[in-house]
Structure 1
C-alpha cells in the first residue's frame, strides 16, 4: 500500500493581504536583502574598483544608514505593531485597507530609491515621498487605536513615541534632499537609531521577553517595571541630544547608567532554567545592548581624556547588527512560526542566520579599528547577505502560502 505525498501549498501574492505581519514582513524581507546588496556592491566597487557605481545625489554612507533605519527595519516593526496593538488594547484586528498602504509605501519607496541609486534621477525623490506616505498611514492607523483605547497601554504609547520621532527623522532627511543643510541629514540618522529604533526595540523587549519566558520556563518570574523603561527613555534622549550637538566627550553621562540598566535587565530577564532555542536567541541578542553601551562608554571617556575618537562606528554597528539584527531574526522567526501554524522552534535556517550574524557583527566592529577598513566593511556586508538570504527565502515562502494548520490569518 502506498500513500501519496501531501502536495505543497500553492504560493500566491494574494496571501500577503491576509494579515499585517504577512505583508510587512514580506516587504521587510525584500528590503533587507535589496538594501544590503546595493551597499555591498558599492563597498566592493569603491574598495577594489572592479566596476563603477552611478553617482549619488547624497553620500552613499548616509543613504545606507537611511535605508536601514527608515525602510528596512521599520517594515518589520510596523508588521509587528500593526498586529499586536489591537491585541494589547483589546480592540478588533485591523482590516486590509489599514495596512496595505503602509506596505506599498515602504516597499515602493525603497525600490524607487534604489532605482535612483542605479541612475534614475527622480528615483530618490519619488521613493522618499512614497516612504513618507507609508509612514504617515501607519502612524494615523496606530494613533487611531491609541485614541480608541479606553485605558492606557504604556508600552503602546512608548512605541508610538518612537515612531513619531522616526517620522520626524524621515522628514528631516527629505528636507536635506530638497536642499536643507547637511546637518538635517545628520540629525535624521541620529534620530533613526536613538529616537526610533532603540526605544521601540527596548519597549518590545520589556513587554514581550519576560512574557515569552514566563510561558515557557517553569517558575520564571516576569520582571517588567515601568520606571526602568522610563529611565531608559530619558537616558536615550540624553545620549541623542549629546550626539546632535557633537558632545561625544560627554556621552558617558548617559552611557554609564544605560550600561548599568541594560546589564541589569539582561540579568533579571535571563531564565535560570533550561529554555528552548527560540527563547534563548532573544536573550543572547539582548546581550549586545550592554556591549554597545560599553563600547560607547570606552569611546567617550578616551575622547574626553585625549581628544582621540577611537572605535569609529563600531559601537553603532554593535547596536545595529548585534542587537537589532539578532533580535530581527529571533522575533520575526518566532512570529512567523506562531502565526503560520508551525511549532514554536528555531528552524536550522534561522539558527544559521542568527549564528552567522554574531560573526558579522564582530567583523563589522573590527572593521573600524583594523587596517583596510573598507575591505572589512565589504566582507561584513557580504556576510549579512549570506546569513539572511536562506532565512528570507524560507519566511517569504511562508507568507505566500496558507497557514499550515488551516486557520485564517
Structure 2
C-alpha cells in the first residue's frame, strides 16, 4: 500500500519511445540520410565512389533531397503537429513503423533495386500520409490546416509526375516535376514559417510584439504561389521574372516585420530568421535566371540548401527539444550545426557566383559542412529520440 509520504509514479507510456510520435523516426531518418546523401553525391560526381543508380545521377540527387530528405522532415513534423492541432492520435507503434519503413525502403531501393520497385515504393508514402493528415483534420474540424493537406496531395502528384516522366509514361521533362516539388515544399515552408517564427520569437523575447498586417500575409503567400507556378509551368520570360521579384520583396518585408536583428543572442531563433532570409534571396535569383542573367541552379540551391536546409535544422532541433521535454536552448553543438548549414548554403550558392573557377572546391566544402551539421544533430538528438521524454509524458 502506498503511504502519504511515498511518491506516486505515473505509469510509463506504452511502446518503444522511437515509435510514439512521428517526429522521432522521421527526424532521425532524415538527419542520417542528409548526413550521408550529399557527401556521397559529391564523391560520386568526383569519381571517388560508384553507385548502381537506375536514375541519372543528377535526377537521383535532386529527387532524393526533395522527396527523400525534405519530405521525411515534413511527414515527421505534420504527424506530430497534427496531434497537437487536433488532440487526436496520429500513427504510432506498428503503424508508424510501417510508414517509416516504407520511407527507408524507397531510399534503399533507389540504389539497390530495379527502377520499377523504387518507383512503386517511393510513390506510396505521401498519399498515405496525406490521407491520414486530412482525415485527422476533418474529424477535428481543423479547416485552417486543410491547405497543408492539399499541398501534400499536390506533392504526391508531383512525385508521380516525376516517375511517370522518367518511365516515359508522361511527356514532360522530369526536372519540371522536381521544380514543382521544390515549389510545393517552399509553399509549406511559407505557411509554417509564418506561424512559428513570429510566435517563437515573441515567446522567447518578453515584451516583444510582432504585428504583421493580414494583407501582407495574404499578399506574400498569394504572390509566392503565383510566381512559383509561373516558374514551373512556363518557359523563362520577363513576366515570371517580375512575379518572382515581387514575391521576393514581399518576403523580405515580412521577415523585416519579424525583427530578426532582435534574435542575435538566441541561436535557436536566429537560425530560423537566417534560413527564412534565403527565401527572398532564392526567389530573386530565380527572377534573374528568368531574364538570362544567371543559371537556374543558384536560385534552386538558395531555396533548397539555404531556406529548406536552414529551416529544417532549426525546426528539427527546436521541435525535438520541445517534444522530448527539454529546454528550448541550443547547445554549442547545435549552434555549430546551424552555422555549418549556413556555410553550406554560402558555399553552394554565393561562392560559385563570385569565383566559378573554383566550383569543385565550393561543392566539396558545401557537402562537408552539410554532412557534419547533420552528424552533429545525430550526436545530440539520437539518444533523446529513442528514449522516453524527460518529464515521463507520452510522445
Give the match for residue 121 of structure 2.
130
Match of 2:340 among 339, 343, 356: 356
Distance of 2:52 and 2:95 partners within structure 1: 37
Give the match for residue 34 of structure 1.
36
Distance of 2:19 and 2:51 partners within structure 1: 36
Distance of 1:383 and 1:329 partners within structure 2: 13
TM-score computed with the length of structure 2 as normaliser? 0.87
1:203-246 CA distances to partner (integer Å, 9 max, x unpaired)? 11111112112222222224455554443343333333333322
Distance of 2:31 and 2:261 partners within structure 1: 33
1:173 corresponds to 2:169: no
1:98-154 CA distances to partner (integer Å, 9 max, x unpaired)? 533321221221122133xxxx4x1x332332222221210110010222233521x
Give the match for residue 357 of structure 2.
371
- Offset at 1:331? 0.8
Tell me whether 389-398 or 366-375 shows the greater mean CA deviation.
Answer: 366-375
- 1:219-234 alignment, distance < 5 Å: 219-223=207-211, 227-234=215-222
Give the match for residue 287 of structure 1.
277
Give the match for residue 300 of structure 1.
290
Distance of 2:342 and 2:285 partners within structure 1: 16
- Offset at 1:287? 1.4
1:31 and 1:107 in contact (8 A); partners too: no
1:169 and 1:187 in contact (8 A); partners too: no
Q: Are residues 294 and 173 of structure 1, via their aligned partners in 2, closer, same or farther at CA, if it must alter by over 3 Å?
A: closer
Match of 2:179 among 186, 190, 203: 190
Tell me whether 176-185 or 260-269 shows the greater mean CA deviation.
Answer: 176-185
1:218 corresponds to 2:194: no
- 1:195-210 alignment, distance < 5 Å: 196-210=184-198
Give the match for residue 372 of structure 2.
386
1:139 and 1:163 in contact (8 A); partners too: yes
Give the match for residue 12 of structure 2.
none
Match of 1:399 among 366, 376, 385: 385
Give the match for residue 8 of structure 1.
none
Q: Are residues 379 and 213 of structure 1, via their aligned partners in 2, closer, same or farther at CA, if it must alter by over 3 Å?
A: closer
Match of 2:98 among 87, 98, 101: 101
Give the match for residue 9 of structure 1.
none
- Offset at 1:314? 1.0
Tell me whether 224-233 or 54-63 shows the greater mean CA deviation.
Answer: 224-233
2:102 and 2:125 in contact (8 A); partners too: yes
Q: Which runs of 5+ in 2 are unaligned?
A: 1-14
Q: Are residues 255 and 345 of structure 1, via their aligned partners in 2, closer, same or farther at CA, if it must alter by over 3 Å?
A: same
Secondary structure of the corresponding residue to residue 247 of structure 1: coil
- 1:74-113 alignment, distance < 5 Å: 74-88=71-85, 90-96=86-92, 99-113=96-110
Match of 2:257 among 268, 286, 290: 268
Secondary structure of the corresponding residue to residue 251 of structure 1: helix
Distance of 1:341 and 1:55 partners within structure 2: 42
Q: Are residues 355 and 272 of structure 1, via their aligned partners in 2, closer, same or farther at CA, if it must alter by over 3 Å?
A: closer
